[in-house]
Amino acid sequence: MKNVYRSIAVLITVLLLSGFVRSDNDIYFQMSKSIDLFGRIYKEVALNYVDNVNPEEFMNAGIKGMLSALDPYTVYLGEDKKEDISLLTDGKYGGIGATVGVQNENVTIVDLIEGYPAQRQGMRIGDVIKKIDSVSVSRGNYNELSKYMKGEPGTELNIEVEREGFDEPIIFKLIREEIEIKNLSFAGFYPENSNNVYLKLSGFTRTAGEEVKNALLNLNKQKEVESIVLDLRGNPGGLLDAAIDVSEKFLENKQLIVSVVGRDTLDKKEYFSNEQPIAGNTKLVVLVDNGSASASEIVAGAIQDHDRGVIVGDQSFGKGLVQTLIPLSYDTSLKITTGKYYTPSGRCIQKIDYAKENDVIIPITSLNSSEFKTDNQRTVYSGGGILPDSIISNSSDSKQMKHLLAQGLFFKFATNYFNVNNTANLAEIKDDEIFKEFLSYIDEQSFEYKTRSEKLIEDLYKTAEESELNADILNQINNLKKEIVKERIRELEKNKEEILGKIKEEIAARINGDKGRIMQSLINDKQFATAIKLLKDEKIYNSFLAFGKF
């Protein structure tokens, strides 16, 4: 009997050493079991469901459902996303050079890239797309629009648009070209006649660093660059390599830019600057807002942690996750989150902890505390995006302005105004006249905006009617309502300068595209004005960076 027990003990030991004894906690067993179950369920449903099932769409739905349990950045990219992958990595795609969006339920041209088919052949911002080839276009199929507009360079498409002020539709016959998206939307001396360079960086594809470098070298040939405003507002990010490349233009050689930590917290990869900066000593302000994410936050975080420049604006988005693009079979890919990034001081910028939101992700011990120190021992914080050194908001406090923007009335008015007047000179526009035109226009468009007081008075009038109060009381309430309406008009007058600024931005975009919009927007930009003020006053600039305080 002892020999039997001894044999069993030896057998168990052998099985343990060889991995044959499995545990339900063993990840490989769990994966094998899950794949088997998933495959069986997929096959049974695909073959035996009461109605015919599209096998490919059914699998896509399963993949989408599975990945939805993770973070929103981990996604499956099917065959139809090849152009999107090319745009993501190289900043190139086959198309016509037009950006579309939804304005008042209409699929509308919202931007045109200069020099490409759409702009060359006369399409305009504000044109409403009604048909692409034989496909009718509406809000309902907006998400599928990419596959109709993008395609192989050299192929043809016909686009039918409606244009305000024109009775008949306009049909454009266009040939797709390879469109190269520039990361730098604007690079130049601004304010004019100054030695300050303004760089508006809108993306982070492979060429971002080279674009910044070439712009600074070319501008420095014109006159000495004394200061730089790097605008990362609204920049959603892009490639990690591009963020490193841009950072290298401002940081000293061998300085740490970012660290990436994967599932295993011991698996840490550090990225250092590997070149001499071309703007290493030039005074620098970086503008950020809640639309600055990912690669934008890597650059801003490195600049802040090394006290290389002052960060101005609103708190950034807080996307501290790194994605890797994994090619799969059949021209498909998986974009998967493989790590979190940490700024040079050691802080993670990620705002949302997806591990807390479901049972699928197993939380790991955080590498982060909440407070960190820059090179000059300034305190910076983790876990919620980049907190600017100088917090200045550009967003309007006026609810009325927010309603005007939300209803697309500046966009629509500028489209109508440009189509009717076809003006090419903002200097010719008289403020009082265009403001009156705008007030008439929003009245015609039935601008929907009611103050809280107006709503309360309407409720009061309704209650008074239902209570059958006498006519005098109803008239008094009605007169009060008229006074509130007058107050709404007075509020428009109060917001006149801000309204005129938005109108001119949109008209400038019709005249000179994105460059025109950017230059016009800077005139009333509080964050940009703060940046210029800091750069002009060396004492204040240095005080923000705590120079000399160790």
319 counts as catalytic: yes
The greatest distance separating any two alpha carbons of the chain, rounded to the nearest whole angstrom, comes to 109
The residue behind tokens 């001396």 is 189
What's the CA gap between 296 and 236, in Å, rounded?
Answer: 7
Buried residues in 135-169 as b, exposed as e (16+ CB within 10 A) = eebeeeebeeebebbbbeeeeebebbbbbeeeeee
What's the CA gap between 300 and 316, in Å, rounded?
Answer: 9
294 counts as catalytic: yes
What's the CA gap between 336 and 333, in Å, rounded?
Answer: 9
Given 247, 259, 292, 294, the catalytic residue: 294
Neighbour count for residue 28 (Cβ, 10 Å): 9
Given 305, 314, 389, 514, the catalytic residue: 305
Nearest one of 84, 95, 87, 103 to 148, comparing CA atoms: 95
Burial of 290 (0-12, 13-18, 19+ CB in 10 A): middle
Given 319, 335, 340, 412, the catalytic residue: 319
What's the CA gap between 454 and 480, in Å, rounded?
Answer: 9
Neighbour count for residue 239 (Cβ, 10 Å): 22
What's the CA gap between 292 and 246, in Å, rounded?
Answer: 15
Which residues are part of the catalytic machinery?
294, 305, 319
